[in-house]
Structure formats: C-alpha cells, structure tokens
A and B are shown apart, each in its own frame.
Chain A
Amino acid sequence: MPDLIAGRLDVMFDSFSSGYLQAKDGKVRALGVSSPDRSPLVPELPAISEQLPGFISMTWFGVFGPAGMPQSVVNKLNASFNKVLKDPQVKEQLAKMGIDGIGGTPTDFTKKLATDTQEWQKVISDAKITLQ
C-alpha cells in the first residue's frame, strides 16, 4: 500500500477492510467495491458492476485441518464455528469490517472450493498470467 499512497501506482484492488480504512483516512481514493451490491458500510461507494456489468469477485475466509482428520472431530469443529457465526456480537464485529459470515457443512465448503477453483482457473489461463 505505501507505493499506492505515494502516487506511483495507477490502481490497486485491496481487501475491503484494509482499503476501506485507507480511503476513509484520505490516503487513497476508492472507486468501487467488487461485491454484487454496494456495501452498507459505504453506501455512497458504487459497486464496480454498476459501471462494469459482470465484474464481481469476493474474498473468502475458511477453516481447514490437515487431510485425514477424523470425521467426528471435523463435525464437532464445524458445529462450533457455525454456532459462533450466529452470535449477534460476532455478526456485528464482522459486519464492521465489511465481512459477511456464511457457515455451512464441510461438504458445502468442498463444493465451494471446487467451483471457485474452476472460475479462477479460467480467468488466469485466459490472461496467460504466469509467475516470472
């Protein structure tokens, strides 16, 4: 972020919680959010998709253990995290950072991982983005 603040960059896509704070402090100028709709935290900031239909992209947070964890242990952890996500205090603290709690089963997560990987695979191979 220091490079952008110094004015040497043209544009940057940052995590909402970080970029939002920098913009609020007047260190950078925010042009839009990459969610389908505007964020309730900054309703005056447009969603990029309003001006660029189809441009939607989210960052997600998830919990994993190593492969081979006993199912009963996975289920117990899963149940606990799901319960915590329903807590109003937790919801509020996350919302303040522009984060939406989701939850679900481990299988839901496996499916989400597969779908996301397919989508980004296409974006990255189309652009021929490679590390050098």
Chain B
Amino acid sequence: MKKLLCFSMLALSLTATSLATAQDYPVRPIKMIVPFPPAGGTDNVARIVAQQVSQDLGQSITIENRAGAAGMIGADAVAKAEPDGYTIVLTTNSTHVIGPLLNPKTPYSPTKSFSPVIYLAQSPSIMVVPVSSPAKTVKEFIELAKKNPGEIELRIGWKWRYSAPFWRAFSSLVWNQHGTCPLQRNRIGHARPDSWAIRCHVR
C-alpha cells in the first residue's frame, strides 16, 4: 500500500513537472544556434531579433555561432538536440532547401528532423563582377559571354549556396541550354577546402 502510494505520488509529481515545463516555457535561457560565422548576414539578423525576443519572453537568448559545411554543422546540432524549445536555429534556405538538394550526404532531413517555427525574413542576391570586368550591365555581361563561347567560370568560394542555382537559372535563361554545370572542388589550384567552382559550357 505504501509502495503504491509512493509510486502514485512520484507519477503525479513527474506529470506536474512536465506540464509546467511546456506551459511555463521558457523557464531558463534559450540557445539560438547560428550556423554561419559572426558578423555575417544571418548572424546580424539573429542579433537584431534575439534581443527583442528575449525581452518579450523574459528569458535571455544566447547566440552561438557554429559555422562549417555551409551551415550544415550548426543545423545538424539543432536537429540532434532535445526538442524542449531551449535549442533553436536561425538559418537560411541554404541549410534547408539548396544544401540538401545539392548534397546527398546531408546529415538531416529539412522536413523530418526539424519543427518549423517561423519564416522570418527574405533578401535578394546581388550579381557582382570584378571591377576590371568589361561588363557594366547585365546585358553587357550576357553579350560578353555570348561573344566568347567556351567556358564561363564562376568561382563560388564558400558561398556556393548562393551562386550555384543562380548560375544555372541565369545560364538557362540566357543561353537556353541544358549542358552540365559540374560543381568542382578545389579546381584552379585554390587551396581553400571550401572552395568550389562551376564551369558552364557556353555554346
């Protein structure tokens, strides 16, 4: 009888604790992982909103930068964390759309491994050329490329997430071609491990 009473009280108190956890959330600081380096675009967005969200929720939000593999390392850390709301990630379509489509070795599923919280914001990309480039407008760039059939080289550096699909969309619109645009690592003798290059063949 005593054992039964103790067990019931234990069960009751455990239930009470878990109820309190979900309903009183947050009761302690929240960790927000930013899977990109400090002072980058995503980090800036995180710092702007985190401060205000902290005030609103009454608990501090600690930002932790965990960069690497175009954001996949940080994103994966959150995918594997306790789903109690105390570890979240502020990220971009790089980790949850483009990356998984390009990389079959992505360690998570963007849909199955995560709970979506909010679509926060959006921003365009900007097309840039070297200052030494003869092209001064998009039209001029297209003309330049058309006059020089062969290879247009697009070195992406570590920002392949922005460049690769854009380049393909761009080239398909410009040249209406469906050649291959292989994404090659460390081409052109560049030493940086995160360096990628695309060579699109222009006919």
Give chain B nearest CB distance to A7 CB in angstroms: 4
B87 interface residue (CB < 8 Å to A): yes
B48 CB contact (under 8 Å) in A67, A90, A129: A90
B contact patch SS: mixed
Contact B53 A84 (CB under 8 A): yes
B131 interface residue (CB < 8 Å to A): yes
In the complex, chain B residues whose CB is within 8 Å of the CB of A81: 49, 53, 117-118, 120
Contact B119 A33 (CB under 8 A): no
B183 CB contact (under 8 Å) in A53, A117, A131: A131
Contact B141 A11 (CB under 8 A): yes
With contact pairs A9-B154, A54-B173, A77-B117 given, residues A65 and B98 touching in the complex (Cβ less than 8 Å): no
Mask of A99-131 contacts with B, CB within 8 angstroms, 1/0: 111111010111011101100110110111111
Contact A97 B56 (CB under 8 A): no
In the complex, chain B residues whose CB is within 8 Å of the CB of A108: 119
Give chain B nearest CB distance to A68 CB in angstroms: 4
Contact B52 A109 (CB under 8 A): no
Mask of B122-151 contacts with A, CB within 8 angstroms, 1/0: 111111111111011111011000000000
Q: CA separation between A98 and B116, bound complex, in Å?
A: 24
Q: CA separation between A84 and B49, bound complex, in Å?
A: 7
Q: CA separation between A39 and B170, bound complex, in Å?
A: 20
Contact A129 B165 (CB under 8 A): yes
A43 interface residue (CB < 8 Å to B): no
In the complex, chain A residues whose CB is within 8 Å of the CB of B49: 81, 84-85, 90
Contact A51 B137 (CB under 8 A): yes
A contact patch SS: mixed
Q: CA separation between A30 and B130, bound complex, in Å?
A: 9
A31 CB contact (under 8 Å) in B48, B122, B138, B155: B138
With contact pairs A64-B78, A70-B22 given, residues A16 and B124 touching in the complex (Cβ less than 8 Å): yes
B102 CB contact (under 8 Å) in A100, A104, A109, A131: A131
Residue in A closest to B33 when the chains form the complex, CB atoms: A64
8 A Cβ contacts from A5-28 to B: 5-20, 22-23, 26-28
Residue in B closest to A98 when the chains form the complex, CB atoms: B123
Contact B130 A52 (CB under 8 A): no
**B residues apposed to A, CB below 8 Å:** 22-23, 25-26, 32, 40-42, 44-45, 48-49, 52-53, 56-57, 75, 78-85, 87-94, 96-98, 101-104, 110-133, 135-139, 141-142, 152-157, 159, 162-174, 178, 180-185, 190, 198
11 pairs from A and B in contact (CB 8 Å cutoff): A5-B131, A13-B126, A34-B127, A45-B126, A51-B142, A59-B123, A62-B93, A67-B115, A70-B22, A94-B45, A129-B168
**A residues apposed to B, CB below 8 Å:** 1-20, 22-23, 26-35, 39, 45-46, 48, 50-55, 57-70, 72-74, 76-78, 80-85, 87, 90, 93-94, 97-104, 106, 108-110, 112-114, 116-117, 120-121, 123-124, 126-132
| Top-6 shortest CB links A-B | A35-B124, A19-B126, A127-B168, A73-B85, A68-B83, A109-B116
